[in-house]
Amino acid sequence: MELTAKIYVAGHRGLVGSAILRGLQAKGYTNLVYRTSSELDLRKFDEVEAFFTQEKIDYVFMAAAKVGGIVANNEYPADFIRDNLLIQTNVIDAAYKTGVTKLLFLGSTCIYPKLAPQPLKEEYLLTGELEATNEPYAIAKIAGIKMCQSYNRQYGTRYISVMPTNLYGPNDNFDLEKSHVLPALMRKIYEAKINLTPHVEIWGSGTPLREFLHADDLADACLFLMDEYESNDIINVGVGEDISIKALAELIKNVIGYDGDLVFNTSKPDGTPRKLVDVTKITNLGWKAKIQLEDGIRSAYQWFLDNHVVVTK
C-alpha cells in the first residue's frame, strides 16, 4: 500500500479496528477513512454504497462485526447471524462495485469444527460440526470467507481472509454479558479485589485451552498480509501456543494483585475443549507474534484501569 492510498478501516473503534488504525498511523499512512456506527450503518446497503462511491477508497480493512462471548452468543443468536451477514455483504459488494484495489476480511477461528484436530489448520474449514454456542456467528463468518473467495473467482477481485485466534488489548469489551473470556476475567477479578470479595466464580471447569493474541500483533499481521498475501485460501494468525483457562485466570489474578480464591462452576459450559491455530503458513511468509502474554495482559490491565469508568458503566 502506498502511504498516500485512501484506506478505510471498518470498525475503527473496536478492539481490532482501533489496533489497525494505530498500526497504520505508526507507519505513516495519512489518508485514512473511518466512520462511527451512528455516522454509517453498515447494515444498510444504500448508506454503504453511497459512502464507497463518495470516498473512492483504495484499500479496506474489514474489522467491523457484531462480536461477543458465550453468554451473548447464546442469548442473541439471531442478532449475531443477521447483523454480521448484512455488514460483511454490504461492505464486500460495495468494495467490488466501486473498484477497491484490495480488501482484507477478518474472520475468526470459531469457523473451525468444534472437534477438529489440533492445532487448527486452514484446510479444516467445513470438515465437521461447529461449536453450538457460537454457530450463528461462525456461519456468518464462513459466509464472508466464501463471498470473498467467490468474488475473487468470478470478478478477479483481490480479497483475502484472515483468521485470528482469541484477541485482547486496548478497546476490548469489558461488559460481562458480551465480553470474551480474558477481558471478562480481568473485570471480574478486578471488581473482586476492589470490593474485597473472597472468591471469583468462573464458568466451566478451567481445563479448556485457549490461545491469546494481542490486538497490536494482529494489526501488524494484517498490514503485513495486505502487502504480502494474495492467495484465495484463508490464513491463520496466532501465537502458536495456548494456555488453560485456569492458568490464564491465575495469571490475571497475579497481575491484578487479587488475594481471593478462584472457583470454577462446572455446571456452566466450557465451549470448545481446545483452540490452537496452526501458524505455519504465516510463519513461512516471515511474520511472527512479538508480544508475550503476561506483558500484553499488563498493558491491557493498565488500559482497563485508565478507561474502565467509561467501558463498564
Is 167 annotated in a binding site? The answer is yes
- Can you tell me the distance from the alpha carbon of 63 to that of 238, in angstroms, rounded to the nearest whole number? 17
Is 27 annotated in a binding site? The answer is no
Is 308 annotated in a binding site? The answer is no
The sign one gets for the Cα dihedral 263, 266, 270, 274 is positive
Take residue 168 and report the three cell numbers written for it.
485482547
137 is catalytic: yes
Is 14 annotated in a binding site? The answer is yes
Is 165 annotated in a binding site? The answer is yes
Take residue 157 and report the three cell numbers written for it.
477481485
Is 12 annotated in a binding site? The answer is yes
Is 42 annotated in a binding site? The answer is no
Report the candidate in 91, 63, 226, 223 with the shortest Cα–Cα distance to residue 158: 226
Residue 238 DSSP label: -
Among candidate residues 29, 112, 137, 190, the one labeled active-site is: 137
Is 82 annotated in a binding site? The answer is no
Count CB-CB contacts under 10 A for residue 76: 18
Which stretches of 31-162 are DSSP H helices?
45-55, 70-75, 77-97, 135-155
Is 141 annotated in a binding site? The answer is yes
So which residues are the catalytic ones? 137
Q: Which residues are annotated as a binding site for NADP(+)?
A: 11-17, 106-109, 141, 164-167, 180
Q: Which residues are annotated as a binding site for substrate?
A: 188, 203, 210, 270
Q: Which residues are annotated as a binding site?
A: 11-17, 106-109, 141, 164-167, 180, 188, 203, 210, 270
